[in-house]
Amino acid sequence: MDGLRWLLLFFGLLVIAGVYVYSRREKTTPKDEAEKPRVRREPSLDGSEPEPDVAEIDASVEVPTVSEEEPSEPPADDVPRKIVTLRLIGHEKKAFKGDELILSMRGIGLRHGKFGIFHRYDGNDESRTIFSAASLVEPGSFDLANIKDQQIPGISLFLVIPGPIDSVEAFDLMMQAARALAQTLDGELLDESGSTLSIQRERYLREEIIQFQHSKLVV
């Protein structure tokens, strides 16, 4: 009888101990969970509430941050430019007939375009202008609707370098066009200052362009 009592007492103590341990575990579980590191939700780009990330279920997984937009390519520095200008006037300062001048410019491949003046393009791409031709009458544009009634004292041919093609090649193309127009229209070529364009002056302008190109290559 005494042995049975001691056995029942022993099992009772085991039950009490088990209840005590279980209750302690239940109390500490919320605290342990609270001590787990919380995953910070990164803000969305539009300011809306972000969707829960899978990493919030498992704090051991790192949440990727919102990727920043790729920076745009920085704008290019201001490119030094040079303008080379020629003038074509009528022989003995005689004005050109408007329609004859336009037909001559079109005949050598110049096309009427931006700013109401004529341009020589690199192929058919009108954004790639090699050189241009403007009237010496302000504002420089050509009124094609009334061109037959106009007397134009001359034109200015000019190129801006660097351009879409090699600068020396662009100058040579402009000189070829200027000579062709001078021959067709019985005109006279002048430099930017209004002096007669001699062979020496033409060579000097070409050399200036070569030196300008070389200066741009110096690091």
CATH number at residue 201: 3.30.1400.10
Shared-domain flag, residues 122 and 208: yes
The answer to whether residue 76 sits within a structural domain is no
Q: pTM value?
A: 0.63
Cα distances (Å, whole numbers) of residue 73 to 44, 77, 162, 184: 24, 12, 22, 48
Which region among 3-7, 54-58, 180-184 has the lowest average model confidence (pLDDT)? 54-58
Residues 19 and 90 in one domain: no
Residues 6+ apart with CB under 8 A from 119: 110, 111, 113, 126, 129, 130, 131, 132, 133
Q: Which of 210, 180, 184, 211 shows the shortest CA–CA distance to 86?
A: 180
Same structural domain, 49 and 125 = no
Question: Distance between CA atoms of 130 and 4, rounded to whole angstroms?
Answer: 115
Q: What pLDDT score does 211 carry?
A: 94
Q: Which of 12, 40, 56 is the last residue of a domain?
A: 56
* DSSP structure class, residue 140: -
- Distance, in Å, from the CA atom of 141 to the CA atom of 125, rounded to the nearest integer, reads 21
Pair 142, 40 in one domain: no
Residue 61: pLDDT over 50: no
Domain range for 15 is 2-56
Q: Indicate the number of domains in the chain.
A: 2
If asked whether residues 21 and 117 sit together in one domain, one would say: no
40, 136: one domain: no
Q: In terms of domains, do 12 and 48 share one?
A: yes
Residue linked to tokens 């051991």? 60
Q: What is the pLDDT of residues 100-122, one digit of tens each?
A: 999 999 999 999 999 999 999 99
Residue 191: φ, ψ to 5°: -85, -175
